[in-house]
Amino acid sequence: MAQSKSHMLPMIAISKELEKLNHSVTFAVASRMKTDLINDGFNISTIIAKSLDQFYFEDIIREMVETMMSGARIRALTEWLKGTNALCHGYLNDTVHVQELAAHHFDYAIVDYAPTLCFSIMAYKLNLPFISLGAFIDPSVNRVPLNPSFMPTLFSSFTDKMTFRERIINTVRYLILLLRPSVPSFENLSERYVPEKQSVSNEKIKQMSLMYIADNDMLLEFPHPVPSNVIMCGGLAAAPPIQLPDKLNDFVENSSDGIVVVSFGSIIKTLPSETLS
Protein backbone atom coordinates (compact mmCIF):
# COMPACT_ATOMS: atom_id res chain seq x y z
CA MET A 1 0.00 0.00 0.00
CA ALA A 2 1.06 3.60 -0.53
CA GLN A 3 2.32 4.81 2.84
CA SER A 4 -0.46 7.22 3.74
CA LYS A 5 -3.19 6.85 6.35
CA SER A 6 -5.85 7.50 3.70
CA HIS A 7 -4.56 4.44 1.82
CA MET A 8 -3.87 2.24 4.85
CA LEU A 9 -7.07 2.63 6.88
CA PRO A 10 -9.48 1.16 4.28
CA MET A 11 -7.21 -1.87 3.92
CA ILE A 12 -7.03 -2.30 7.69
CA ALA A 13 -10.84 -2.35 7.79
CA ILE A 14 -10.88 -5.09 5.13
CA SER A 15 -8.19 -7.04 6.97
CA LYS A 16 -10.31 -7.10 10.13
CA GLU A 17 -13.20 -8.63 8.19
CA LEU A 18 -10.88 -11.22 6.63
CA GLU A 19 -9.54 -12.16 10.04
CA LYS A 20 -13.11 -12.82 11.21
CA LEU A 21 -13.23 -15.47 8.47
CA ASN A 22 -10.01 -17.07 9.80
CA HIS A 23 -7.71 -15.55 7.18
CA SER A 24 -4.33 -14.14 8.17
CA VAL A 25 -3.32 -10.76 6.75
CA THR A 26 0.16 -9.27 6.51
CA PHE A 27 0.96 -5.70 5.44
CA ALA A 28 4.08 -4.55 3.59
CA VAL A 29 4.80 -1.19 5.23
CA ALA A 30 7.48 1.35 5.99
CA SER A 31 8.81 1.34 9.54
CA ARG A 32 7.52 4.92 9.94
CA MET A 33 4.00 3.80 9.05
CA LYS A 34 4.19 0.85 11.45
CA THR A 35 5.15 3.20 14.27
CA ASP A 36 2.29 5.58 13.43
CA LEU A 37 -0.23 2.74 13.33
CA ILE A 38 0.96 1.33 16.67
CA ASN A 39 0.65 4.80 18.21
CA ASP A 40 -2.93 4.94 16.87
CA GLY A 41 -3.76 1.62 18.53
CA PHE A 42 -3.66 -0.65 15.46
CA ASN A 43 -2.21 -4.13 15.87
CA ILE A 44 -1.37 -5.65 12.48
CA SER A 45 1.12 -8.18 11.14
CA THR A 46 3.76 -6.46 9.01
CA ILE A 47 6.75 -6.94 6.75
CA ILE A 48 9.01 -3.88 6.69
CA ALA A 49 10.06 -2.57 3.29
CA LYS A 50 13.02 -0.22 3.70
CA SER A 51 12.40 1.18 0.23
CA LEU A 52 9.01 2.52 1.39
CA ASP A 53 10.82 4.45 4.13
CA GLN A 54 13.30 5.85 1.64
CA PHE A 55 10.55 7.08 -0.69
CA TYR A 56 7.76 7.81 1.81
CA PHE A 57 4.47 8.53 0.06
CA GLU A 58 3.25 11.12 2.58
CA ASP A 59 6.49 13.06 2.03
CA ILE A 60 5.86 13.01 -1.72
CA ILE A 61 2.30 14.28 -1.21
CA ARG A 62 3.41 16.99 1.23
CA GLU A 63 5.99 18.37 -1.20
CA MET A 64 3.44 18.32 -4.02
CA VAL A 65 0.81 20.16 -1.97
CA GLU A 66 3.29 22.78 -0.77
CA THR A 67 4.35 23.46 -4.36
CA MET A 68 0.75 23.54 -5.58
CA MET A 69 -0.27 25.99 -2.85
CA SER A 70 2.48 28.33 -4.02
CA GLY A 71 0.76 28.47 -7.41
CA ALA A 72 3.20 26.27 -9.35
CA ARG A 73 0.71 23.61 -10.43
CA ILE A 74 2.73 22.22 -13.32
CA ARG A 75 5.85 21.97 -11.17
CA ALA A 76 3.77 20.28 -8.46
CA LEU A 77 2.63 17.61 -10.92
CA THR A 78 6.21 17.17 -12.13
CA GLU A 79 7.43 16.70 -8.56
CA TRP A 80 4.67 14.18 -7.88
CA LEU A 81 5.57 12.18 -10.99
CA LYS A 82 9.24 12.29 -10.02
CA GLY A 83 8.44 11.14 -6.49
CA THR A 84 6.16 8.28 -7.52
CA ASN A 85 8.72 7.23 -10.13
CA ALA A 86 11.37 6.95 -7.41
CA LEU A 87 8.92 5.17 -5.10
CA CYS A 88 7.98 2.52 -7.65
CA HIS A 89 11.44 1.77 -8.95
CA GLY A 90 12.84 1.79 -5.41
CA TYR A 91 10.18 -0.68 -4.25
CA LEU A 92 10.64 -3.04 -7.19
CA ASN A 93 14.44 -2.91 -6.79
CA ASP A 94 14.19 -3.85 -3.10
CA THR A 95 15.50 -7.41 -3.55
CA VAL A 96 15.56 -8.16 0.18
CA HIS A 97 11.88 -7.26 0.42
CA VAL A 98 11.01 -9.34 -2.66
CA GLN A 99 12.74 -12.37 -1.17
CA GLU A 100 10.95 -11.93 2.16
CA LEU A 101 7.56 -11.68 0.45
CA ALA A 102 8.27 -14.78 -1.64
CA ALA A 103 9.31 -16.75 1.46
CA HIS A 104 5.87 -16.28 3.03
CA HIS A 105 4.08 -18.07 0.15
CA PHE A 106 0.98 -15.89 0.29
CA ASP A 107 -2.20 -17.05 -1.46
CA TYR A 108 -3.53 -13.68 -2.63
CA ALA A 109 -2.54 -10.04 -2.63
CA ILE A 110 -4.68 -6.95 -2.19
CA VAL A 111 -2.78 -4.16 -3.88
CA ASP A 112 -3.15 -0.42 -3.58
CA TYR A 113 -4.87 1.12 -6.56
CA ALA A 114 -2.84 4.27 -6.26
CA PRO A 115 -2.04 5.59 -9.74
CA THR A 116 1.17 3.57 -9.76
CA LEU A 117 1.96 0.13 -11.12
CA CYS A 118 4.61 -1.06 -8.69
CA PHE A 119 2.27 -3.00 -6.40
CA SER A 120 0.54 -4.81 -9.28
CA ILE A 121 3.94 -5.63 -10.82
CA MET A 122 5.07 -7.07 -7.48
CA ALA A 123 2.03 -9.36 -7.35
CA TYR A 124 2.74 -10.49 -10.92
CA LYS A 125 6.37 -11.20 -10.04
CA LEU A 126 5.33 -13.31 -7.04
CA ASN A 127 2.69 -15.24 -9.06
CA LEU A 128 -0.05 -13.95 -6.78
CA PRO A 129 -3.65 -13.47 -7.92
CA PHE A 130 -4.52 -9.97 -6.78
CA ILE A 131 -7.40 -7.66 -5.96
CA SER A 132 -7.16 -3.88 -6.33
CA LEU A 133 -8.33 -1.43 -3.68
CA GLY A 134 -8.64 2.30 -4.15
CA ALA A 135 -10.84 5.38 -4.15
CA PHE A 136 -11.34 5.32 -7.91
CA ILE A 137 -11.13 3.00 -10.90
CA ASP A 138 -9.16 4.30 -13.88
CA PRO A 139 -11.45 3.75 -16.88
CA SER A 140 -8.61 4.16 -19.36
CA VAL A 141 -6.82 1.14 -17.94
CA ASN A 142 -9.54 -1.16 -16.71
CA ARG A 143 -11.97 -1.30 -19.61
CA VAL A 144 -14.67 0.63 -17.75
CA PRO A 145 -16.83 2.41 -20.33
CA LEU A 146 -16.45 6.17 -20.03
CA ASN A 147 -18.40 8.64 -22.14
CA PRO A 148 -16.70 12.04 -21.75
CA SER A 149 -19.86 13.85 -22.85
CA PHE A 150 -21.51 13.22 -19.47
CA MET A 151 -18.94 11.44 -17.28
CA PRO A 152 -16.37 13.79 -15.69
CA THR A 153 -12.75 12.66 -15.85
CA LEU A 154 -10.74 12.29 -12.66
CA PHE A 155 -9.90 15.59 -10.89
CA SER A 156 -11.68 17.62 -13.59
CA SER A 157 -14.13 19.28 -11.13
CA PHE A 158 -16.84 18.99 -13.80
CA THR A 159 -20.33 17.62 -13.20
CA ASP A 160 -22.46 15.41 -15.44
CA LYS A 161 -24.12 18.61 -16.73
CA MET A 162 -21.26 20.05 -18.81
CA THR A 163 -21.32 22.89 -21.28
CA PHE A 164 -20.06 22.28 -24.81
CA ARG A 165 -16.70 23.85 -23.91
CA GLU A 166 -16.40 21.68 -20.79
CA ARG A 167 -17.20 18.57 -22.82
CA ILE A 168 -14.38 19.40 -25.22
CA ILE A 169 -11.96 19.91 -22.31
CA ASN A 170 -13.21 16.72 -20.67
CA THR A 171 -12.70 14.77 -23.91
CA VAL A 172 -9.14 16.09 -24.23
CA ARG A 173 -8.44 15.07 -20.63
CA TYR A 174 -9.82 11.61 -21.38
CA LEU A 175 -7.57 11.28 -24.44
CA ILE A 176 -4.58 12.26 -22.30
CA LEU A 177 -5.54 9.48 -19.86
CA LEU A 178 -5.55 7.03 -22.76
CA LEU A 179 -2.13 8.22 -23.91
CA ARG A 180 -0.74 7.95 -20.38
CA PRO A 181 -0.86 4.19 -19.87
CA SER A 182 0.71 4.11 -16.46
CA VAL A 183 2.80 5.74 -13.81
CA PRO A 184 5.72 5.80 -13.23
CA SER A 185 6.87 5.45 -16.83
CA PHE A 186 6.02 4.39 -20.34
CA GLU A 187 8.52 1.54 -20.31
CA ASN A 188 7.32 -2.04 -20.02
CA LEU A 189 7.88 -2.71 -16.33
CA SER A 190 7.39 -6.47 -16.54
CA GLU A 191 10.31 -6.74 -18.98
CA ARG A 192 12.52 -4.86 -16.55
CA TYR A 193 11.45 -6.37 -13.24
CA VAL A 194 9.99 -9.76 -14.18
CA PRO A 195 12.34 -10.95 -16.93
CA GLU A 196 11.80 -14.58 -15.91
CA LYS A 197 8.18 -14.44 -17.08
CA GLN A 198 6.41 -13.60 -20.31
CA SER A 199 6.46 -9.91 -21.12
CA VAL A 200 3.08 -8.30 -20.42
CA SER A 201 2.08 -4.70 -21.10
CA ASN A 202 1.52 -2.32 -18.20
CA GLU A 203 -2.17 -2.03 -19.06
CA LYS A 204 -2.58 -5.81 -19.15
CA ILE A 205 -1.05 -6.20 -15.71
CA LYS A 206 -3.58 -3.75 -14.27
CA GLN A 207 -6.35 -5.68 -16.01
CA MET A 208 -5.24 -8.92 -14.34
CA SER A 209 -6.91 -7.76 -11.14
CA LEU A 210 -9.60 -10.27 -10.18
CA MET A 211 -11.71 -7.64 -8.49
CA TYR A 212 -11.72 -3.91 -7.79
CA ILE A 213 -12.88 -2.61 -4.42
CA ALA A 214 -13.72 1.07 -4.83
CA ASP A 215 -13.79 2.99 -1.55
CA ASN A 216 -16.57 5.15 -2.93
CA ASP A 217 -20.35 5.32 -2.86
CA MET A 218 -22.77 5.58 -5.75
CA LEU A 219 -24.72 8.15 -3.73
CA LEU A 220 -21.74 10.51 -4.04
CA GLU A 221 -20.94 9.72 -7.68
CA PHE A 222 -22.38 10.83 -10.98
CA PRO A 223 -24.20 8.07 -12.90
CA HIS A 224 -21.75 5.77 -14.64
CA PRO A 225 -21.54 2.11 -15.67
CA VAL A 226 -19.81 -0.27 -13.28
CA PRO A 227 -18.39 -3.65 -14.41
CA SER A 228 -19.42 -6.79 -12.57
CA ASN A 229 -16.02 -7.19 -10.89
CA VAL A 230 -16.15 -3.74 -9.25
CA ILE A 231 -17.57 -3.44 -5.74
CA MET A 232 -18.54 0.06 -4.61
CA CYS A 233 -17.81 0.04 -0.89
CA GLY A 234 -17.67 3.57 0.47
CA GLY A 235 -16.75 4.54 4.01
CA LEU A 236 -14.17 1.82 4.60
CA ALA A 237 -12.00 4.16 6.67
CA ALA A 238 -14.90 5.35 8.84
CA ALA A 239 -14.52 4.67 12.55
CA PRO A 240 -17.04 4.52 15.41
CA PRO A 241 -17.82 8.00 16.76
CA ILE A 242 -16.18 9.23 19.94
CA GLN A 243 -17.36 11.82 22.43
CA LEU A 244 -16.72 15.40 21.36
CA PRO A 245 -14.59 17.63 23.59
CA ASP A 246 -16.75 19.79 25.87
CA LYS A 247 -16.05 22.98 23.92
CA LEU A 248 -17.12 21.44 20.61
CA ASN A 249 -20.03 19.61 22.19
CA ASP A 250 -21.41 22.88 23.61
CA PHE A 251 -21.07 24.50 20.19
CA VAL A 252 -22.97 21.66 18.50
CA GLU A 253 -25.70 21.56 21.13
CA ASN A 254 -26.26 25.32 20.82
CA SER A 255 -26.45 25.30 17.00
CA SER A 256 -30.21 25.47 16.51
CA ASP A 257 -29.91 25.32 12.71
CA GLY A 258 -27.57 22.33 12.74
CA ILE A 259 -23.95 22.11 11.62
CA VAL A 260 -22.01 21.05 8.53
CA VAL A 261 -18.96 18.85 9.06
CA VAL A 262 -16.18 19.21 6.49
CA SER A 263 -13.37 16.66 6.59
CA PHE A 264 -10.17 17.21 4.62
CA GLY A 265 -8.71 13.79 5.38
CA SER A 266 -5.14 13.01 6.38
CA ILE A 267 -3.77 15.25 3.62
CA ILE A 268 -4.57 18.26 5.84
CA LYS A 269 -1.39 17.47 7.78
CA THR A 270 0.69 18.15 4.67
CA LEU A 271 -0.58 21.70 4.13
CA PRO A 272 1.88 24.55 4.78
CA SER A 273 1.41 26.28 8.16
CA GLU A 274 0.65 29.62 6.50
CA THR A 275 -2.22 27.99 4.60
CA LEU A 276 -3.67 26.42 7.74
CA SER A 277 -3.49 29.72 9.62
Q: Give a yes or no: residue 263 inside a domain.
A: no
Q: Give a yes or no: residue 151 inside a domain.
A: no
Q: Give a yes or no: residue 260 inside a domain.
A: no
Identify the domain containing residue 80 by its residue range: 5-141+181-242
- The confidence band for 26, taking pLDDT boundaries of 50, 70 and 90, is very high
Q: Give a yes or no: residue 68 inside a domain.
A: yes
Which is more confidently placed, 143 or 149? 149
Q: At 135, which CATH number?
A: 3.40.50.2000
**Percentage of the chain modeled with pLDDT above 70:** 87
Whole-angstrom Cα distance, residue 178 to residue 184?
15
CA gyration radius for the chain? 20
Contacting residues for 182 by C-beta, under 8 A, at least 6 apart = 116, 117, 141, 189, 202, 203, 206
Please give the distance of CA 162 from its chain centroid, rounded to a whole number. Answer: 27
Q: Give a yes or no: residue 61 inside a domain.
A: yes
Give pTM, 2 decimals: 0.81
Mean pLDDT of 214-231: 80
118-132, 175-189, 225-239 — most confident range: 118-132
Q: Give a yes or no: residue 20 inside a domain.
A: yes
Number of domains in the chain: 1
- The confidence band for 108, taking pLDDT boundaries of 50, 70 and 90, is very high
Q: Which helix (H) or strand (E) holds 275?
A: helix 273-276
Cβ atoms of residues 60 and 80 within 8 Å: yes
| pLDDT of 275 over the 70 cut | no
- What value does the mean pLDDT of the chain take? 84
Q: Give a yes or no: residue 257 inside a domain.
A: no
| pLDDT of 14 over the 90 cut | yes
Whole-angstrom Cα distance, residue 8 to residue 215?
12
Residue 270: what pLDDT? Answer: 62
Q: Give a yes or no: residue 160 inside a domain.
A: no
Encode pLDDT of 49-87 as tens digits: 999 988 888 888 778 777 877 777 778 777 877 888 888
Which is more confidently placed, 257 or 109? 109
Residue 215: what pLDDT? Answer: 86
Listed residue (154, 145, 155, 106) closest to 126, CA to CA: 106
Cβ atoms of residues 133 and 19 within 8 Å: no
Residue 45: what pLDDT? Answer: 94
Cβ atoms of residues 74 and 57 within 8 Å: no
